[in-house]
Amino acid sequence: MTKQKLRISDLITPDRIIDLKCRTKNEVLREMFRAIERSPEIRNSKAFEKSLIERENILTTGIGNEIAIPHVQTDVVDDLVMAIGRCEDGIDFGSLDGRPVKIVVMIASSDKHPRNEFLKVLAKVVMLFKDEGFRKQVLKARRPEDIMKLLEPY
């Protein structure tokens, strides 16, 4: 039996794609957390939130190119799960390049999930969202379902 290739589009649902209303990094993290916490993959939302904030306090996940990818592997998550938030105006996320963040991709995974698979998903998200054309399409999309269609091949 061959293992099926993990796709980003399998890790997200339209209800976890949101337009961000908050304007500070901590508020955005909370807003993103609220979008992902109802996922069946999250067993303990308080512990998950704590893990995520602790990870973000180590080093910003604002990687540049208007993207932030807060991510964590923890024992309170059963499987890989994602949420996407967007803000056309941008948010000061303390990004490595100093630019405001317009797209936030939150990724959570079980600490028992193979680390290399988690890193492959993280790398795939980075490569996809570093593409300026793709970012523009995500920002211009009218509905979460439109973003899901953009993600389908990935």
Give residue-wise pLDDT tens across range 84-134: 999 999 999 999 999 999 999 999 999 998 899 999 999 999 999 999 999
pTM: 0.94
Per-residue pLDDT, 6: 83
The reported pLDDT for the residue numbered 85 is 98
pLDDT at 49 over 80: yes
Query: Using CA atoms, how far apart are residues 24 and 79, in angstroms rounded to an integer?
Result: 28
**Across the chain, what does the average pLDDT equal?**
93
- CA dist 105 and 9 (Å) reads 13
Judge whether 70 and 34 are in contact, CB under 8 Å.
no
Q: Give the percent of the chain with pLDDT over 90.
A: 92
The residue extents of the domains of the chain are: 11-148
| Confidence check: pLDDT of 50 > 70 | yes
**Would you say residue 3 has pLDDT above 60?**
no
Mean pLDDT, residues 46-72 taken together: 94
Closest CA to 108 of 62, 150, 67, 75: 75
pLDDT of residue 1: 36
What SS3 state is found at 149? helix
Res. 60: pLDDT tops 90 = yes
What CATH number does the domain located at 11-148 have? Answer: 3.40.930.10
